[in-house]
């Protein structure tokens, strides 16, 4: 993301712009933006203000489902309420929309070397593959495939969340220990084949020839 950061001024701005470009018809309020980009609200608001000023975004009032205050630890559908929110949405008539899409969505979405190093720290990682959105293909089963032993699922999920904030969209990922992955390989598992038989990038590989 470093070249884009230099062009656009900050990695945070790139994150915000990608989030709206990947979700063209979805409005976001300040809470959504701060959570999805893993940034402080004050920092995000500065970026949004500038993007509204140049016409990239426009203001949008929308309804949003939020949990009702309850003592129950389990939240059911009936425990949500709809509230009116003030936020922003992509301005589909922005004159530079097409070149910005090309620049921000077709370039390298993440620093793959950084992702590799961060995932390696999670444990004994045998295989890390980027597929799907990372190779410009939205029709794949998963965007990230991880194979490893003694990896903490919550730590991996946290790392995926960080990557999602950089990319600007939710990612589909699969995680297997080595034994299960090798079993799936032997059974010609549909998901595994979908990744390996289509365009992908191996960032870590100690088990495939």
Residues 136 and 77 in one domain: no
| 100 and 179 inside one domain | no
Q: Which two tokens stand for residue 1?
A: 């993301």
Per-residue confidence in pLDDT tens, the chain, 209 aa: 566 766 688 889 999 999 999 999 999 999 999 999 999 999 999 999 999 999 999 999 999 888 777 665 555 556 788 899 999 999 999 999 999 999 999 888 999 999 999 999 999 999 999 999 999 998 999 999 999 999 999 999 999 999 999 999 999 999 999 999 999 999 999 999 999 999 999 999 999 98
Hey, what's the torsion of the CAs at 15, 17, 20, 23, to 10 degrees?
-60
Does 131 lie in the same domain as 91? no
- Predicted structure pTM score: 0.83
- Final residue of a domain: which of 75, 90, 105? 105
Residues 99 and 9 in one domain: yes
Q: Could you tell me the residue range of the domain that residue 147 belongs to?
A: 112-205
- Which of 105, 124, 139 is the endpoint of a domain? 105
- Number of domains comprising the chain: 2
Output the CA–CA distances (angstroms, integers) from residue 25 to 28, 68, 84, 103, 128, in the order listed: 10, 26, 17, 20, 32
């Amino acid at each position: 993301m470093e070249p884009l950061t230099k062009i656009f001024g900050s990695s945070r701005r790139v994150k915000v712009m990608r989030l709206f470009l990947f979700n063209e018809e979805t409005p976001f309020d300040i809470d959504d933006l701060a959570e999805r980009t893993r940034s402080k609200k004050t920092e995000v608001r500065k970026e949004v203000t500038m993007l509204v000023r140049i016409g990239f975004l426009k203001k949008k009032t929308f309804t949003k489902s939020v949990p009702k205050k309850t003592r129950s630890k389990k939240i059911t559908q009936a425990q949500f309420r709809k509230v009116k929110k003030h936020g922003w949405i992509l301005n589909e008539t922005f004159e530079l929309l097409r070149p910005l899409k090309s620049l921000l969505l077709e370039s390298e979405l993440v620093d793959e070397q950084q992702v590799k190093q961060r995932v390696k720290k999670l444990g004994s990682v045998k295989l890390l593959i980027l597929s799907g959105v990372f190779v410009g293909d939205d029709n794949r089963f998963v965007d990230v495939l991880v194979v490893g032993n003694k990896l903490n699922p919550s730590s991996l999920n946290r790392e995926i969340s960080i990557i999602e904030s950089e990319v600007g969209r939710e990612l589909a990922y699969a995680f297997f220990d080595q034994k299960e992955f090798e079993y799936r390989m032997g059974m010609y598992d549909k998901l595994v084949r979908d990744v390996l038989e289509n365009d992908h990038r191996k960032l870590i590989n100690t088990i495939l020839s």
